Amino acid sequence: MKGYTKTKYGGPEVLQLKEVELPALKENQVLVRVMANSANPADWHILRGKPYFARLSFGLFKPKDLIPGTDFAGIVEKTGSRVTQFKVGDNVFGESLSGGAFAEYVSADETICAKMPEGTTFREMACIPIAGLTALQALTTHGKLRKGETVLINGASGGVGHFAVQIAKAYGAHVTAVCSAKNSDFAKSLGADQVIAYDQENIHKHSEKYDLVVDTNGNLSFADYKRMGRRGVMVGFTTMGHMMSVLLKKMFSKFPLIQFTAEAHSKDLEILAALVQDKKISSRIEKVFPYRELPQAIAYIEAMRTQGKVAVSWEKQL
């Protein structure tokens, strides 16, 4: 099969499209013929081995996993002996932080996959796992969002942010989105009740109060969370120094602020699939790259100016 390999840390240029062996299939896994991926910030962080402490998991001096890639959607080709949730021919989507998705086939535990809703495309469902799970868990698992509450979403036009706006609305919240002026209409189209354009109003001086502040961009200070929120969830961060500054101040405060990394599991993927099925959320795909241009897709997402998501197609027409 064809797959992208990496033998050293670096930018998209270290990715090489090569013929590689089919992945081994464990008894609790499904072998999926990949039809689409999406590009995520997690992909280029893992590719570059940054922040450096992440290398404790991904390989200290060089990557321990040959094939990168996290999000995927495709068709089940084979099932392990203990798989009970899927059968050959099922259309599934999922996420694997251990990599392997940037290839024609990926082996994945059945616990990190879910069935695609009827009528959806591989591209749209491949764009959901990391970003959708992060948004859902930020709002519900960690943010404890309740119907009728007010939520401020900083970074509302990006991959995680654009799902967060839609999910918050689906759960009955009043949503204020923070994005650039040029993305204001996009945020409104997602369902945002109000939009703050950060290039027209200084968010660090914004004084309204919200039940929940979710920062997917990573530039809010601890003072920003306390001033604007009754509780907060920190998803992204701009620099390690900034993140450590926020978390250090949190240690000496009773303000309820949570920083987390999303966990992939079928239950939350199924919730996202149901929201898609009910047309409560959708992947807004800015650009689709053919698989032979996957390194360009990573470079595109790394520029961090994406509106919505970026997909990569392995379907033969591309």
Query: Residue 144: what pLDDT?
Result: 98
**Are residues 75 and 160 located together in one domain of the fold?**
no
Q: Are residues 227 and 287 in the same domain?
A: no
d(Cα 237, Cα 304) in Å, to the nearest integer?
12
Exposed/middle/buried for 88, CB within 10 Å: 0-12, 13-18, 19+?
Answer: exposed
Q: What is the pLDDT along the chain (318 residues), one digit of tens a residue?
A: 999 999 998 989 999 999 999 999 999 999 999 999 999 988 878 888 776 656 667 666 677 778 999 999 999 999 999 999 999 999 999 998 789 999 999 999 999 999 999 999 999 999 999 999 999 999 999 999 999 999 999 999 999 999 999 999 999 999 999 999 999 999 999 999 999 999 999 999 999 999 999 999 989 999 999 999 999 999 976 677 777 888 888 888 999 999 998 999 999 999 999 999 999 999 999 999 999 999 999 999 988 778 999 999 998 743
Q: For residue 218, how many other CB atoms are within 10 A of its CB?
A: 16
Length of the chain: 318
In this structure, how many other beta carbons lie within 10 angstroms of the beta carbon of residue 230?
Answer: 15
Of 115, 98, 121, 134, which is closest to residue 23 (Cα–Cα)?
98
Is residue 137 assigned to a domain?
A: no
Residue type, 99: G
Domain boundary among 215, 231, 259: 259
- Asked whether residue 135 is assigned to any structural domain, the reply reads no
Asked if the structure places residue 154 within a domain, the reply is yes
Q: In the listed set 259, 274, 299, which residue is the last one of a domain according to the structure?
A: 259
Do residues 17 and 74 share a domain?
Answer: yes
Q: Are residues 49 and 64 in the same domain?
A: yes
Domain span at 39: 2-130+263-313
Domain match, 11 and 124 both: yes
Same domain, 168 and 209: yes
Same domain, 64 and 210: no
According to the model, what pLDDT value does residue 60 have?
66
**Alpha carbon of residue 237 to chain centroid:** 14
Cα distance between residue 282 and residue 298, in whole Å? 22
pLDDT of residue 271: 98
The CATH number for 66's domain is: 3.90.180.10
Residues 7 and 122 placed together within one structural domain of the fold:
yes
How far, in Å, CA of 236 to CA of 261, rounded?
9
Residues 31 and 14 occupy one common structural domain? yes
Per the omega criterion (within 30 degrees of 0), is the bond before 51 cis?
A: yes
CATH number at residue 226: 3.40.50.720
Same-domain pairing of 178 and 199: yes
pLDDT score recorded for residue 317: 44
Name the token pair of 262: 């999303």
Report if residue 318 sits inside a domain. Answer: no
Same domain assignment for residues 40 and 115: yes
In a domain, 205, yes or no: yes
Q: Is residue 136 in some structural domain? A: no
Count of structural domains, the chain:
2
> What's the pLDDT score for residue 157?
96
**Is the same domain home to 102 and 177?**
no
Q: DSSP class of residue 71?
A: E
Give the end of a domain, one of 216, 239, 259: 259
Among residues 207, 9, 25, which one has the least CA distance to residue 106? 25
